[in-house]
Amino acid sequence: MQNVLNSVKGTALGVAEYLTPVLKESKFRETGVLTPEEFIAAGDHLTHHCPTWSWAVGDESKIKPYLPKDKQFLITRNVPCRRRCKQIEFVGEENLVEENDPDGGWVETHHYNPDDAGSSGLEDKVCEMKLDSSRIEDEQAADMDDPRNLEDGDADGDDGDDEDGAAIDMDEFEESGLLETVDPSNALLPAPNEKPKAVVSSEVEGDSVVRTRTYDLHITYDKYYQTPRLWVIGYDENRKLLSVEQMYDDVSQDHAKKTVTMETHPHLPGPNMASVHPCKHADIMKKIIQTVEEGGGELGVHMYLIIFLKFVQTVIPTIEYDFTQNFNITNHK
């Protein structure tokens, strides 16, 4: 049902974007939006400071006339994604930040309730922990720094090496041929008559080999919302396209199928791509601008995409794309 609603909404927004005139005058400081020219300036700044990003043209039939032909959208390829979101997400109480939001609100997953601090599950689990005294005694006895071990060694009056007898004569050891059998340069080579073992897929055996996915990320200009828009498409380690559900595994579960939906790329044909909906981007940027100005700084429009990539990473936290410069929100000029 959610996918149907997203599809209908996407079609309606496509029509609205077509009818929306191109923004000509800058409203960056007032509302946090961009003109196409400001988007290009921010993109040039991003590609200069982070060379993994570059400009792309896309399909000739989908070129937007309000953007330069050779700078239709930004792209970075083969970004690693080593973990799934479920492996790192906090499991606990959620707090709805904006209850009256028609799009469902923004969820604060790391909400802390001080009233429940005295009865937290973590505290109960710590109280239930028990120590095996016999195991502790064994470990202490095996510890070379333990005083008991030092006392035992002093009482014997002899080093442990003296109990092993006389040292082995190296000439006899070489003549015995044992040195050749343990030659480290041949240790990993199979024996002449040994058949090679069949390679078994680690996924079947369930070993600990990490299967790294990769993603291509695109940033387009959304004419309706007048902000950048992030698109991602994922591949497995064999560069095979991930399924929709597999890509949702790499999206924060608070945003999957809500803030992040599968839609048609505005510049490319082919399968739908996961996109971070831009309806909140201008409001977030406006708040950041106000915070910087309250701290006595001034935020230039060329920094837009640097900051944009940092705040959308909360939606796709395991895709390791952010190698951009650091940004001080309290005072930036």
With a CB cutoff of 8 Å and minimum separation 6, the contacts of 35 are 22, 23, 24, 25, 26, 226
Region 285-293: what's the mean pLDDT?
Answer: 93
- Tokens in use for 153? 């060694």
Give pLDDT, residue 183: 52
Of the candidates 50, 81, 85, 279, the residue annotated as catalytic is 279
Region 40-50: what's the mean pLDDT?
Answer: 96
What whole-number distance in Å separates Cα of residue 56 and Cα of residue 47?
12
The DSSP bridge partners found for residue 263 are 273
Q: Is 188 helix (H, G, I), strand (E, B) or coil?
A: coil
Give pLDDT, residue 257: 83
| Eight-class DSSP state of 143 | -
What whole-number distance in Å separates Cα of residue 161 and Cα of residue 170?
18
With a CB cutoff of 8 Å and minimum separation 6, the contacts of 236 are 211, 213, 242, 246
Give pLDDT, residue 209: 64
**Torsions phi, psi for 245 (to 5 deg):** -65, -35
Amino acid at 98: E
| pLDDT higher than 50, residue 201 | no
Domain 28-90+211-315 has CATH 3.30.450: no
| pLDDT higher than 60, residue 231 | yes
Q: When comparing pLDDT for 246 and 111, which is higher?
A: 246
Among 54-58, 221-225, 297-301, name the one with the lowest average pLDDT.
297-301
Among 319, 312, 250, 313, CA closest to 279:
312
Model confidence over 25-37: pLDDT tens digits?
999 999 999 999 9
Give pLDDT, residue 37: 97
Q: When comparing pLDDT for 198 and 195, which is higher?
A: 195
| pLDDT higher than 70, residue 215 | yes
What whole-number distance in Å separates Cα of residue 318 and Cα of residue 315?
9
Give pLDDT, residue 319: 93
Give pLDDT, residue 21: 85
Is 279 an annotated catalytic residue?
A: yes
Q: When comparing pLDDT for 168 and 25, which is higher?
A: 25
Q: How confident is the model at residue 110 (pLDDT cuts 50, 70, 90)?
A: very low
| pLDDT higher than 80, residue 93 | no
Among 277, 247, 281, 282, CA closest to 261:
277
Among 211, 207, 191, 210, CA closest to 199:
207
Q: DSSP string covering 18-58, please?
A: HHSPPP-S--HHHHS---HHHHHHHHHHHHHH-TT-EEE--
Give pLDDT, residue 120: 46
Residue 3 · residue 257 · CB < 8 Å: yes
Q: How confident is the model at residue 184 (pLDDT cuts 50, 70, 90)?
A: very low
With a CB cutoff of 8 Å and minimum separation 6, the contacts of 24 are 35
Give pLDDT, residue 107: 53
- Tokens in use for 26? 């800058």
Among 219, 267, 211, CA closest to 240:
211
Give pLDDT, residue 275: 94
Q: DSSP string covering 269-290, please?
A: -SS-EEEE-GGGHHHHHHHHHH
Q: What is the pTM of this model?
A: 0.62
Average pLDDT over all residues of the chain: 75
Give pLDDT, residue 149: 52
Region 240-249: what's the mean pLDDT?
Answer: 93
- Tokens in use for 311? 């705040």
Residue 89 · residue 253 · CB < 8 Å: yes
Q: When comparing pLDDT for 240 and 155, which is higher?
A: 240
Q: DSSP string covering 47-60, please?
A: HHH-TT-EEE---G
What whole-number distance in Å separates Cα of residue 70 and Cα of residue 91?
45
Give pLDDT, residue 159: 52
Q: Is 230 helix (H, G, I), strand (E, B) or coil?
A: strand
